[in-house]
Structure 1
């Protein structure tokens, strides 16, 4: 978030906000997810900039492994946001055209690209297809979209959505949020 953004001045530095436990949990889950995203993005860049002798099938297998680990951590985080936090916030700000609509769109974009990546890898594996450079780059593109979408998405959550939720949710709603998070564990 840029310092001159109107949103930045409304909420301040999110690290200075005393978030309720469930919002802090979501906030604190981002660094590990960002680290995994950085790993697979660096891998993609390395493969794309590598020499022409790259074994593209092996590259896709390695990327598949990284994305599998990432998704295992991402899914419960995403479920807590979509199924609990977003739904609680919708009661206050609605869904259409506001921050929840943007957050859901970005979640959908990331999920769609992850699904396409995994579906295509399964098909390649089942059909024993040779992974050409072109196929590999198509698969890399899905990973890059996930990376760029979620990197920006997490920043918006930290700078705007989580502080907004902290301000708007009542103490009762925060207790309900915490209880629902415990039930999902």
Structure 2
């Protein structure tokens, strides 16, 4: 098992330091919001009150993004930076995590751009296409959070010094 990251968090008694635990504890509320967005998208795709559900989707996406952004900043601006000092950021886990952040934000940003004028000038197919963008963001983020919890956070716990873990906790509290 030497060198295999998949075995890092197999022990259910694995305990994360304060900062890493805070980042992990931010995932469940975000996942709940993602599920709400996904439910609206599925209703739209299935033709259930398309305009009504789509009109609920955009403000829900805006609210979700407002909750996601500080979490992303804590990860990208603090945790990823600290880990990159050890493992770099051009390839490997940090590169993957940053790519997935960018990909999810691109899906959401495209949706928000496309829907800034509501559904007035949109055909049914365009509405469904835009709901698919949020489904794609959902799938990206659900998978991303899982990778963070099973690979990245345990890796950081093993990699960072105690002083760095304290610094991480202090720095993410102010974001």
Superposed pair shares fold, TM > 0.5:
yes
Distance in 1 between residues matched to 2:125 and 2:32, nearest whole Å? 27
TM-score of the two chains, using structure 2 as the length reference? 0.92
CA contact under 8 A between 2:107 and 2:133: conserved in structure 1?
Answer: yes
One of 35, 39, 43 as aligned partner of 1:38? 35
Deviation at 1:163, TM superposition (A): 0.4
Does 2:5 align with 1:11? no
Q: What 5-or-longer segments of structure 2 have no aligned partner?
A: none
Q: Residue 44 of structure 2 contacts residue 54 of structure 2 at CA under 8 Å; is this kept in 1?
A: no
Q: Deviations over 1:51-106 (max 9, x none)?
A: 5xx343x3321111221221111111010000000000000101122000000000
Q: Compute the TM-score of the two structures, normalised by the length of structure 1.
A: 0.87
Taking the aligned partners of 1:12 and 1:75, their CA distance within structure 2 comes to 29
Q: Deviations over 1:104-152 (max 9, x none)?
A: 0000001111111111111x34xx8333211101211110110010010
Q: Is the 8 A contact 2:34 2:138 kept in 1?
A: yes
Match of 1:133 in 2: 124
Secondary structure of the 1:160 match is: helix
Matched, 1:47 2:38: no
4+ runs deviating over 3 angstroms: none
5+ unaligned residues in a row in structure 1: which ranges?
1-5
Q: 2:71 corresponds to which residue?
A: 77
The number of aligned residues is 172
Superposed counterparts of 1:152-167, under 5 Å: 152-167=143-158
Q: What value does the CA root-mean-square deviation take over the aligned residues?
A: 1.5
For 1:111 and 1:16, the matched residues in 2 are separated by 33
Structure 2 Cα separation of the partners of residues 39 and 55 of structure 1: 16
Contact 2:8–2:154 under 8 Å retained in 1: no
Displacement of 1:11 after TM fit?
2.8
